[in-house]
Amino acid sequence: MGVTRETLAMLYPRLYHMAEAGSWPGIMRHGLLSTSALLDLFEFHGPKRDAIESAHRPKSLTITHPVHGRAVIRDQKPMSDKALLRALGGSLSPTEWYRLLNGMVFFWLTEKRLKRLLEAVEYRDKGQTVLTIDTARLLERHEHRVRLSPMNSGNTRPYPHPRGRDTFLPLSEYPFESRRKRGLEPAVELTVEYSVPDIRDVVLHVEETPRRTGRRVGAGRHGRV
Protein backbone atom coordinates (compact mmCIF):
# COMPACT_ATOMS: atom_id res chain seq x y z
CA MET A 1 0.00 0.00 0.00
CA GLY A 2 1.20 3.46 -0.83
CA VAL A 3 3.90 5.00 -2.99
CA THR A 4 6.84 7.16 -1.97
CA ARG A 5 7.32 10.59 -3.45
CA GLU A 6 10.70 9.43 -4.82
CA THR A 7 9.11 6.54 -6.73
CA LEU A 8 6.29 8.69 -8.03
CA ALA A 9 8.70 11.37 -9.24
CA MET A 10 10.89 8.74 -10.92
CA LEU A 11 7.95 7.21 -12.81
CA TYR A 12 6.27 10.55 -13.55
CA PRO A 13 9.01 13.23 -13.60
CA ARG A 14 6.65 15.81 -15.13
CA LEU A 15 3.12 16.92 -14.29
CA TYR A 16 0.83 18.87 -16.62
CA HIS A 17 -1.85 21.48 -16.02
CA MET A 18 -4.09 23.10 -18.62
CA ALA A 19 -5.27 26.64 -17.89
CA GLU A 20 -7.20 29.32 -19.75
CA ALA A 21 -5.19 30.98 -22.52
CA GLY A 22 -3.31 34.03 -21.30
CA SER A 23 -3.67 33.16 -17.61
CA TRP A 24 0.03 32.83 -16.79
CA PRO A 25 0.57 36.43 -15.56
CA GLY A 26 -2.22 36.00 -13.00
CA ILE A 27 -0.92 32.57 -12.00
CA MET A 28 2.54 34.05 -11.46
CA ARG A 29 1.10 36.74 -9.17
CA HIS A 30 -1.25 34.63 -7.10
CA GLY A 31 -0.18 31.01 -7.57
CA LEU A 32 -2.16 28.20 -9.12
CA LEU A 33 -5.53 28.36 -7.39
CA SER A 34 -8.42 25.97 -7.02
CA THR A 35 -11.88 27.35 -7.74
CA SER A 36 -12.45 27.85 -4.00
CA ALA A 37 -9.12 29.64 -3.57
CA LEU A 38 -9.89 31.86 -6.58
CA LEU A 39 -13.29 32.75 -5.12
CA ASP A 40 -11.58 33.64 -1.83
CA LEU A 41 -9.14 35.91 -3.67
CA PHE A 42 -11.94 37.56 -5.65
CA GLU A 43 -14.01 37.99 -2.46
CA PHE A 44 -17.06 36.02 -3.57
CA HIS A 45 -19.47 35.23 -0.74
CA GLY A 46 -23.05 34.14 -0.12
CA PRO A 47 -25.48 32.61 -2.63
CA LYS A 48 -23.47 33.76 -5.65
CA ARG A 49 -20.45 31.83 -4.45
CA ASP A 50 -22.51 28.83 -3.41
CA ALA A 51 -23.96 28.56 -6.91
CA ILE A 52 -20.43 28.34 -8.36
CA GLU A 53 -18.95 25.88 -5.87
CA SER A 54 -21.82 23.46 -5.33
CA ALA A 55 -23.51 23.08 -8.73
CA HIS A 56 -22.62 21.82 -12.19
CA ARG A 57 -21.05 24.39 -14.53
CA PRO A 58 -22.19 23.73 -18.11
CA LYS A 59 -19.93 26.49 -19.40
CA SER A 60 -16.89 28.46 -18.27
CA LEU A 61 -17.53 31.45 -16.05
CA THR A 62 -15.67 34.77 -16.11
CA ILE A 63 -15.38 36.59 -12.79
CA THR A 64 -13.95 40.05 -12.11
CA HIS A 65 -12.45 41.95 -9.18
CA PRO A 66 -11.60 45.66 -8.91
CA VAL A 67 -8.01 44.92 -7.92
CA HIS A 68 -7.24 41.45 -9.32
CA GLY A 69 -8.94 41.92 -12.67
CA ARG A 70 -10.46 39.02 -14.59
CA ALA A 71 -10.29 35.25 -14.21
CA VAL A 72 -12.00 32.30 -15.87
CA ILE A 73 -13.42 29.34 -13.95
CA ARG A 74 -13.47 26.23 -16.14
CA ASP A 75 -16.66 24.52 -17.24
CA GLN A 76 -17.60 20.98 -16.15
CA LYS A 77 -19.06 19.84 -19.48
CA PRO A 78 -17.87 16.20 -19.18
CA MET A 79 -20.08 15.70 -16.09
CA SER A 80 -23.83 15.60 -15.51
CA ASP A 81 -25.83 15.40 -12.30
CA LYS A 82 -27.71 12.31 -13.52
CA ALA A 83 -24.54 10.37 -14.30
CA LEU A 84 -22.85 11.66 -11.17
CA LEU A 85 -25.66 10.30 -9.00
CA ARG A 86 -25.01 6.84 -10.43
CA ALA A 87 -21.24 7.17 -10.00
CA LEU A 88 -21.46 8.31 -6.37
CA GLY A 89 -23.87 5.53 -5.38
CA GLY A 90 -25.16 7.42 -2.37
CA SER A 91 -21.74 7.93 -0.76
CA LEU A 92 -21.86 11.67 -1.53
CA SER A 93 -24.35 14.02 -3.13
CA PRO A 94 -23.46 15.75 -6.42
CA THR A 95 -23.25 19.01 -4.44
CA GLU A 96 -20.66 17.48 -2.10
CA TRP A 97 -18.69 16.15 -5.07
CA TYR A 98 -18.62 19.52 -6.81
CA ARG A 99 -17.43 21.17 -3.59
CA LEU A 100 -14.72 18.54 -3.25
CA LEU A 101 -13.45 19.10 -6.79
CA ASN A 102 -13.62 22.87 -6.49
CA GLY A 103 -11.29 22.73 -3.50
CA MET A 104 -8.40 21.16 -5.42
CA VAL A 105 -5.82 21.98 -8.10
CA PHE A 106 -5.49 19.23 -10.72
CA PHE A 107 -2.52 17.88 -12.66
CA TRP A 108 -2.24 15.11 -15.23
CA LEU A 109 0.50 12.57 -14.61
CA THR A 110 1.12 11.89 -18.31
CA GLU A 111 1.39 13.98 -21.43
CA LYS A 112 -0.95 11.50 -23.14
CA ARG A 113 -3.75 12.54 -20.78
CA LEU A 114 -2.96 16.20 -21.36
CA LYS A 115 -3.14 15.80 -25.15
CA ARG A 116 -6.43 13.95 -24.86
CA LEU A 117 -7.90 16.94 -23.03
CA LEU A 118 -6.38 19.46 -25.44
CA GLU A 119 -7.92 17.60 -28.36
CA ALA A 120 -11.34 17.16 -26.75
CA VAL A 121 -14.16 18.73 -28.72
CA GLU A 122 -14.94 21.11 -25.86
CA TYR A 123 -11.45 22.68 -25.89
CA ARG A 124 -9.71 22.16 -29.22
CA ASP A 125 -11.20 25.31 -30.76
CA LYS A 126 -9.49 27.43 -28.11
CA GLY A 127 -5.89 28.17 -27.31
CA GLN A 128 -4.73 27.02 -23.89
CA THR A 129 -1.93 27.74 -21.45
CA VAL A 130 -0.07 24.54 -20.55
CA LEU A 131 2.16 24.32 -17.49
CA THR A 132 4.80 21.60 -17.23
CA ILE A 133 5.73 20.97 -13.60
CA ASP A 134 8.73 19.35 -11.93
CA THR A 135 7.12 16.52 -9.95
CA ALA A 136 9.94 16.11 -7.45
CA ARG A 137 9.96 19.81 -6.56
CA LEU A 138 6.21 19.96 -6.12
CA LEU A 139 6.15 16.86 -3.91
CA GLU A 140 9.05 18.12 -1.82
CA ARG A 141 7.07 21.26 -0.99
CA HIS A 142 3.47 20.01 -0.91
CA GLU A 143 3.39 16.26 -0.32
CA HIS A 144 1.20 16.68 2.79
CA ARG A 145 -1.53 18.24 0.61
CA VAL A 146 -1.15 15.94 -2.40
CA ARG A 147 -3.77 13.33 -3.30
CA LEU A 148 -3.79 10.77 -6.12
CA SER A 149 -6.83 9.69 -8.13
CA PRO A 150 -7.22 6.58 -10.33
CA MET A 151 -9.60 8.33 -12.74
CA ASN A 152 -10.54 11.54 -14.48
CA SER A 153 -12.65 12.75 -11.56
CA GLY A 154 -14.29 15.51 -13.58
CA ASN A 155 -15.71 13.20 -16.25
CA THR A 156 -18.74 10.88 -16.22
CA ARG A 157 -18.60 10.00 -19.93
CA PRO A 158 -18.98 7.56 -21.57
CA TYR A 159 -19.49 5.57 -18.36
CA PRO A 160 -19.90 7.02 -14.85
CA HIS A 161 -17.20 5.09 -13.00
CA PRO A 162 -17.84 4.70 -9.24
CA ARG A 163 -16.26 7.37 -7.10
CA GLY A 164 -16.45 8.92 -3.68
CA ARG A 165 -14.42 10.69 -1.02
CA ASP A 166 -11.83 7.88 -1.06
CA THR A 167 -11.18 8.47 -4.77
CA PHE A 168 -8.53 10.95 -3.62
CA LEU A 169 -5.93 9.41 -1.30
CA PRO A 170 -2.57 10.57 0.08
CA LEU A 171 0.53 8.89 -1.31
CA SER A 172 0.92 6.70 1.78
CA GLU A 173 -2.59 5.21 1.36
CA TYR A 174 -2.95 5.05 -2.40
CA PRO A 175 -3.02 1.48 -3.88
CA PHE A 176 -0.32 2.26 -6.43
CA GLU A 177 1.43 -1.12 -6.66
CA SER A 178 -1.74 -3.18 -6.60
CA ARG A 179 -3.04 -1.23 -9.59
CA ARG A 180 0.24 -1.76 -11.45
CA LYS A 181 0.13 -5.50 -10.78
CA ARG A 182 -3.40 -5.67 -12.19
CA GLY A 183 -2.27 -3.95 -15.37
CA LEU A 184 -4.18 -0.76 -14.60
CA GLU A 185 -2.97 2.78 -15.03
CA PRO A 186 -1.41 3.33 -11.58
CA ALA A 187 -2.71 6.89 -11.18
CA VAL A 188 -4.43 9.37 -13.47
CA GLU A 189 -4.61 12.64 -11.55
CA LEU A 190 -2.43 14.30 -8.94
CA THR A 191 -4.23 16.96 -6.93
CA VAL A 192 -3.11 19.56 -4.41
CA GLU A 193 -5.58 20.81 -1.85
CA TYR A 194 -6.62 24.47 -2.22
CA SER A 195 -3.66 26.01 -4.09
CA VAL A 196 -0.02 25.90 -5.17
CA PRO A 197 1.07 29.42 -4.16
CA ASP A 198 4.69 28.87 -5.22
CA ILE A 199 3.90 27.43 -8.65
CA ARG A 200 6.52 29.61 -10.37
CA ASP A 201 9.21 27.82 -8.34
CA VAL A 202 8.22 24.35 -9.55
CA VAL A 203 7.16 25.05 -13.16
CA LEU A 204 9.56 24.09 -15.96
CA HIS A 205 7.75 25.41 -19.02
CA VAL A 206 4.75 27.61 -19.77
CA GLU A 207 3.47 27.26 -23.31
CA GLU A 208 0.53 28.45 -25.36
CA THR A 209 -1.21 25.96 -27.64
CA PRO A 210 -2.71 26.94 -30.98
CA ARG A 211 -6.31 26.17 -31.84
CA ARG A 212 -7.38 22.70 -33.02
CA THR A 213 -4.23 20.89 -31.99
CA GLY A 214 -2.70 19.43 -28.89
CA ARG A 215 0.80 20.18 -30.22
CA ARG A 216 2.61 22.78 -28.18
CA VAL A 217 4.43 25.53 -30.05
CA GLY A 218 7.82 27.02 -29.34
CA ALA A 219 6.66 30.54 -30.04
CA GLY A 220 4.70 30.50 -26.80
CA ARG A 221 7.50 29.12 -24.68
CA HIS A 222 8.56 31.11 -21.65
CA GLY A 223 11.13 28.52 -20.56
CA ARG A 224 12.19 27.97 -16.98
CA VAL A 225 10.88 30.59 -14.57
Task: Region of 15 please: left (phi>0), alpha (psi -120 to 50) or beta.
Answer: beta
Where the chain has pLDDT below 70, the residues are 211-225
Closest CA to 210 of 131, 129, 132, 127: 127
Q: What is the structure's pLDDT at 125?
A: 80
Condensed to tens digits (0 to 9), the pLDDT of residues 95-113 reads: 999 999 999 999 999 999 9
What are the strands of the beta sheet with 189-193, ordered from one edge? 146-149, 189-193, 104-108, 14-20, 128-134, 203-209
Estimate to the nearest angstrom the gap between the alpha carbon of 59 and the chain centroid. 17
Q: What is the structure's pLDDT at 29?
A: 95
Number of Cβ atoms within 10 Å of the Cβ of 142: 18
Q: What is the structure's pLDDT at 147?
A: 98
Q: What is the pTM of this model?
A: 0.91
How far apart are alpha carbons 183 and 151 in whole angstroms? 15
Number of Cβ atoms within 10 Å of the Cβ of 84: 20
Condensed to tens digits (0 to 9), the pLDDT of residues 173-187 reads: 999 999 999 999 999
